[in-house]
Amino acid sequence: MQLCESDNTTMEAERRRSLRPIWALTVVVTAGAVALLPPVARAGVTVPGAARLPWWVLAGGFALAETFPLHLRFRGEAHSFSLNEIVLVLGLFATTPLRLLAAQLAGSAVALVFVRRQGALKIAFNLAQWAIGTEIAIVVFHAIAMPSGTLSTRNWLAALVAAAAASVVQYVAIAIAITLAEGHFSGRENLKSLVWGLLSTVVNTMLGLVVVIVCSESIAATVLLVGPIAVVLVAYRAYVSEHSKSEGLQFLYRASELLGGARDLEAGLLALLDFARETFHAEIAEVVLRGDSGESIGYRTCSGPGERRFRLEPCAVDEVAAVLALAGEAARAGEVPVGAVLVGEEGKILAHAHNFPISLNDPTAHAEILALRQAAEILGNYRLPGLTLYVTMEPCLMCTGALIYARIKRLVFGAPDMKAGACVSLYRIPEDPRLNHRLEVTGGVGESECRELMQKFFRERRAKM
């Protein structure tokens, strides 16, 4: 049990460590945003003729835009974008730079914290990249715009260049964050999302400019825009839902065609898996068939990764259930209930056995030893590198020694054995640096069920005596 707990702590520590570079990036982006504050505060040009809006109206707009992001599908790929550029463009004309920045941060923060319920890191990173994007937009806009009236072409252009500049800065920050999180950089993917981002920026900026112009004529007239924009959004959502329905139907149709046209079930399953892999761009697709009586050994058909294929091979549906079932068989045969399963690197069961020393009059007939003997015979090798042994109880001295001699890669056991366990309880053989083979050990997997089975067996045996 302790081993498991320490495993979890290690995983948690590793996860935290892997997030450190993204926190560092967030700090750098925030520092950039703070450094840009003085030029933003100085960019005080106002565009005469533009309607003035209070900052909280804009904050509401930003909150709405972030609450309903759009997920656009194009040629099988998903692109998500939000309508916050419309509000940004409106803000460039309708308020002072610092008020626009405050509205952006307050509105987006409300949406991220209360509606989308993002984690601390995502909120911090998103606010930092939006802040720097909005500041860049403000500086660029005021460098190009002329205080010569809302409708001038130069001011339209200034808004377009400003929104595009903000978009590029934000995409760079996001691309760096994704590269840090995934550990690799995909130039093609990043370029594609940048182009998509810029396209949606241009469309949103155009919409934003229409809102600015209508607003400047009369604020009441903006009500006229609500209808057309709502219709476009509803039509768009309906299109997305129809599109995914028709994709689902096409998949079902092709799948039944493949299964119907195949020579036999195995070939049909394999063809179906190949098709599923292709459709979902998946590395690997597999189907496990199992009996409905809770059998722990199933039959696996698998396609991928690469050219790898196999059909209806026995596999452990659930290794813990498999060893527990074997231990139950041992108990029914009057043996101490211990079950063991040896699994290959691809998850295929190579051998399974339960304790047999009493019936065979053989002190070495422990489940682990019997499983090792079967696997060695099948593979024609006295060494079994790369295999994993699952067993209900922590192995004894003899079995731990045999696992090391067989060069077993990994041991997974259920309950520790305080009286005879040689892996973590009585001895810690796998950790001994004087031995030339390291056995990876994970304990406590299915511990309570394994222990219960053992206690029940001894309780019943005592009752019979």
Residues making contact with Zn ion (CB under 5 A): 366, 396, 399
For the chain, the maximum distance between any two Cα atoms, rounded to a whole number of angstroms, is: 104
Q: How far apart are CA 265 and CA 188, in angstroms?
A: 40
Q: How far apart are CA 456 and CA 324, in angstroms?
A: 13
Count CB neighbours of 191 within 10 A: 12
CB of 314 to Zn ion, least distance (A): 25
CB of 357 to Zn ion, least distance (A): 9
Q: Which is nearer to Zn ion, 173 or 423 (CB)?
A: 423
Q: Which is nearer to Zn ion, 99 or 451 (CB)?
A: 451
CB of 324 to Zn ion, least distance (A): 17
CB of 311 to Zn ion, least distance (A): 35
Q: Which is nearer to Zn ion, 354 or 366 (CB)?
A: 366
E strands, 2-61, in order: none
- Among the listed residues 142, 113, 141, the one whose alpha carbon sits nearest the alpha carbon of residue 127: 113
Quick check: is 368 catalytic? yes
Q: Which two tokens stand for residue 172?
A: 């760079």
Q: Which is nearer to Zn ion, 217 or 447 (CB)?
A: 447
From the number of C-beta atoms within 10 Å of its C-beta (0-12, 13-18, 19+), residue 448 rates as: exposed
From the number of C-beta atoms within 10 Å of its C-beta (0-12, 13-18, 19+), residue 57 rates as: middle
Q: Which two tokens stand for residue 90?
A: 């409106």
Q: What is the DSSP string of 374-420?
A: HHHHHHT-S--TT-EEEEEE---HHHHHHHHHTT--EEEEEE--TTT
Q: Which is nearer to Zn ion, 160 or 396 (CB)?
A: 396
Q: Of these residues, 135, 368, 377, 431, which one is catalytic?
A: 368
CB of 369 to Zn ion, least distance (A): 7
Q: So which residues are the catalytic ones?
A: 368
